Structure 1
C-alpha cells in the first residue's frame, strides 16, 4: 500500500509540474458545504472580493456553497486531481489524507480562541506543509466554530446523560472515540443527510457549532442543546497544487495575501456571530439550551489523547500545550 501511495503522489506531482500556466483571465472554483450566511461562507465570499480587488479583476474566484461541488471528501479529492481549485474543508475530513492535522480535532484542546489562533497559525501551518506532496496547499485556517451537543432524548448535563445516545459524527476516528468515551453511540454520517436523519429518528442528535445549528435549522428537529464546547473546529483554506503551480508568483501572492486578510476578518465575524446565533436559537423557543459543567466531560475524554498521540504526534500536542497562557 505504501508503494502504491508513493506512486500515486509521484504521479500527482508530475502532473503539477507538467500543467501550463493560466492564459488570460484566471477563474478559480472554490467549494464548501456551508450555507452562504454561515461565517465561513461569508469568509469565502469576502476572500473572493479581496482577490478581485487586489488583482484588478485579473483573477475571479467563483464560490460554490452548500455542497454544490460535492461533500468535503469529494472536495479534497477534487483538489488532488485539479478538478476543484480551492475549498474550505474541516480538519476532521482532511485528517483522512494527512493524519497529523487531526490534532485539532482532539477534545478540549484549546484554552480559548486566542490559544486556538496562535496554535493554528504556528503548529497548524507547520503540519500543513505535509499536505503539499499530496497535492494540496494550505493557505491558513478560517473558523467553523466551537462545537456543542444537541439531542432529542433527554437534557444532557453530565457524561452519564449521554449513555447510548445515537450521535451523528463525521467520519473521523477521533470524534468516534470521543463520543464512545462520553458513553454515546457514535454514528458516522454525511452532513447533508443529517437534518432528515434527526427528523426521522435515525440518530438522536449531533454535535456542531452554533452557526450550523442555526443556519441548517437543526433547532427545528432537536429538543435539547448542551453547551459542551467539546471541540474547536477550524476550517482550513486550501488550494490545489495543480492550480497553485499554474499561477504566476505575483498571482500566488495575491491569493495568499487575500487569504490572510480574509481569515483575520472571518475569525472576528465568527466570534461575534457565535453569540448572536445562540440568542436566535434561544428566541425560537423550540429547543432548550443547557449550560453544563465541562469538568466531567474533560476528564471523561482524556483517554482519547493517549489513543491518538502516535497519530497526531505527541510533539504536536506538547507544542500546542506550550502555547497556553
Structure 2
C-alpha cells in the first residue's frame, strides 16, 4: 500500500503540474492528465478493458489532446479498495469498478446485492438511467465522487458439477461465494452451503471437489476455464454485474465547464458502446461455453419462483441494514422499467 500511495502521490503531483497556461500574450487552454484505474485485467479483449480504451480515445479526441487519460489496470495502483480510497483523496482521478467493493464506502449500494432484481439487462439499464440515477449520484457525491458511468453489463450465473433443475438440487451444494453476507444469505435460503474462498484458489478447489459450484459472469467462467472442471451452467441471472466509473469530485469541479461537458459526453458514448459490446460478448461467450461441452440449463418457471423466494430473504437483510425507503425506491424503479 505504501508503494501504491507513493506512486499515487507522484501522479497527483503530475496532475497539478499538468495544469498549464501559455504565455507570449495568449493564454493557452488548460491541460489535464487524468488517471483511470481499475483492478481488473487489461488483457482478453473484455468489455471492461475495451471500454476504458474507448473512454481514453473519446476524451482525448474531443478535447484535442487538452485532456489526457492514463489507464492503469491489472491492479497497477492497488486493489479495488485501495484505488477507491485513492480516488476519494484525489491521488487517482478516476476509478472503474463494480459496486460490490464500494459498499464499504457507500452502504446504500448494498441494494444491488438483492438477487433476481431485473428480469433482463435492458430493464436494468432503463431503471438505472431513469429518475433513480439522481439518487445514485447523490450517494456518490456524499462519498466525494462524481458518478460518470453506471452500466449493467453481465449477470452472475451459476456453474456446478451436478445438474440443477429444481430447488431441491441445491440442497447441500457447496458453492464458492465472495465473503458477502447478502450473497451468502441467498444461497443459504436455497439450501446450498455457501463457502467463501479466494478467487485465486477457486479453479483448484473445483477441480479437487473442495467446492461443487461457483457463480460468476460468462466472461469470468470463460477466461478462467471453469468449463474444464464444471459440467453444468445454470442461467440463474441472479445478480446484475454493474460497472461504475467515478471521478474525484474536487478534480471534476476544478475543471472548466467545457471540459466537464466533454467528459460527460464521452462517458455517455462509452456507456452505449460498453452496453452493446457486453451484450454481443455475452452471446458469443455463451456459444463458446456450449462448444466446450457444458450443459446449459435455463431455469423453468418453478425454479425461477424458488430463486425469487430465496431472494426475498436477502432483501429482508438489506432492508434491515440500509432502510426500507432505499429498497422501495429501487424496487419501484425496477418495476417502472418493465413498462
- TM-score, L = length of structure 1: 0.84
| Corresponding residue of 2:264 | 256
Residue 145 (structure 1) shift: 0.2
For residues 124-166 of structure 1, give each alpha carbon's deviation from its aligned partner in whole angstroms, at most 9, with x where no partner exists.
44223222222222112133301210123x2222232222333
Q: Which moved more, 1:28-37 or 1:114-123?
A: 28-37
Q: Please point out which of 275, 286, 302 is paired with 1:278.
A: 286
Give the conservation status (yes or no) of the 8 Å contact 1:101–1:124.
no
For residues 281-323 of structure 1, give each alpha carbon's deviation from its aligned partner in whole angstroms, at most 9, with x where no partner exists.
11123x3322222232222322222222242432332333233
Q: Please point out which of 27, 32, 36 is paired with 2:33.
A: 27
| Corresponding residue of 2:220 | 212
Give the conservation status (yes or no) of the 8 Å contact 1:151–1:206.
yes
Unaligned runs of 5+ in 1: 1-15
DSSP 3-state at the match of 1:260 = helix
Q: Please point out which of 300, 313, 318 is paired with 1:308.
A: 318
Work out whether 1:320 is the aligned partner of 2:334. Answer: yes
Closer, same or farther in 2 for the Cα pair 1:187/1:27, shift >3 Å? Answer: farther
Distance 2:160 2:65 in 1: 47
Distance 1:194 1:244 in 2: 39
Residue 70 (structure 1) shift: 2.8
Q: Please point out which of 292, 305, 329 is paired with 1:295.
A: 305
| Corresponding residue of 1:118 | 126
Give the conservation status (yes or no) of the 8 Å contact 1:101–1:128.
no
Give the conservation status (yes or no) of the 8 Å contact 2:157–2:233.
yes
| Corresponding residue of 2:88 | 80
| Corresponding residue of 1:8 | none
Residue 45 (structure 1) shift: 1.3
Distance 1:251 1:193 in 2: 44
DSSP 3-state at the match of 2:125 = helix
Q: Please point out which of 32, 46, 68 is paired with 1:60.
A: 68
Aligned length: 306
Closer, same or farther in 2 for the Cα pair 1:67/1:61, shift >3 Å? Answer: same
Distance 1:90 1:179 in 2: 21
- Structure (1 or 2) with the larger CA radius of gyration: 2
Work out whether 1:149 is the aligned partner of 2:143. Answer: no
| Corresponding residue of 1:178 | 186
